Amino acid sequence: MDVRTLQSINLARILKEPGTAEAEGIIKETIGAGEELLTLQGDADWSVSVTSAGDEFWLSGEVHGTVMMECRRCLKPTPQPVNAYFQHLLEFHPEVGELTLVQNEDDEDVYHFGDPDLDLSFFLAQAFALAMPFTALCDESCKGLCPVCGADLNVVDCGHVQADAVPKALSDLGKFLDEV
Ligand SMILES: [Zn+2]
Ligand SMILES: [Zn+2]
């Protein structure tokens, strides 16, 4: 079987009769999240299943991959593993053009869709982005960038930063405050 790079699942069968539909595939290079495109290292894998429950459908799925983030100190591209899981309630409304988020009578979030060939790219990207860490560090001991000239202090010693300059000033301040 060819590996699917299309991010969709066909629900035509379970729109006619109760049941479950499943799909899986891979995402190559980038994954879209809002305006932003996140860069992947290698392929991300995803799988989803959709189960009919009366007029509604339960979508559940997962996506696993490695995203490239900037180290928060030196800005170097830094791979971060991401494991995302999601569940959503869906309703089929043939008149709906784009996927629409609606609140039902029970105050639950329900996505209305109109195309039996459900586009999953929004759900996959949203779950992936939410599961990402807020920041990344290339290494616990990353020295970061020089605040004066911007040099990567992991690579060069530009001579601008004395390693103990800030801690010494702070400890002097601490002593001063103790004495006051
Ligand atoms: Zn770094
Ligand atoms: Zn410098």
Is the model's pLDDT at 137 over the cut of 70?
yes
- Looking at per-residue pLDDT, the higher value among 151 and 171 belongs to 151
Distance CA 159, CA 180 (A): 35
Residues in the chain: 180
Centre of ligand 2 from the C-alpha of residue 138, in Å = 20
Q: How far is the CA of 102 from the centre of ligand 2 (A)?
A: 53
Name the closest ligand to CA 73: 1
Distance of CA 100 from the midpoint of ligand 1 (Å): 40
Instruction: Determine the Cα–Cα distance for residues 21 and 11; give it in Å rounded to an integer.
Output: 7
pLDDT of 180 reads: 62
What mean pLDDT is predicted for residues 132-155? Answer: 95
The domain segmentation of the chain, as residue ranges, is 8-140, 143-180
Residue 117's identity, in one-letter code, is D
115 three-class SS: coil
Residue 163 pLDDT > 80? no
pTM: 0.82
- Residue 132 vs residues 24, 43, 104: alpha-carbon distances, Å: 21, 16, 29
CA distance 161 to 101: 51
Residue 31 CA to ligand 1 center (angstroms) comes to 23
Asked if residues 62 and 74 have their Cβ atoms less than 8 Å apart, the reply is no
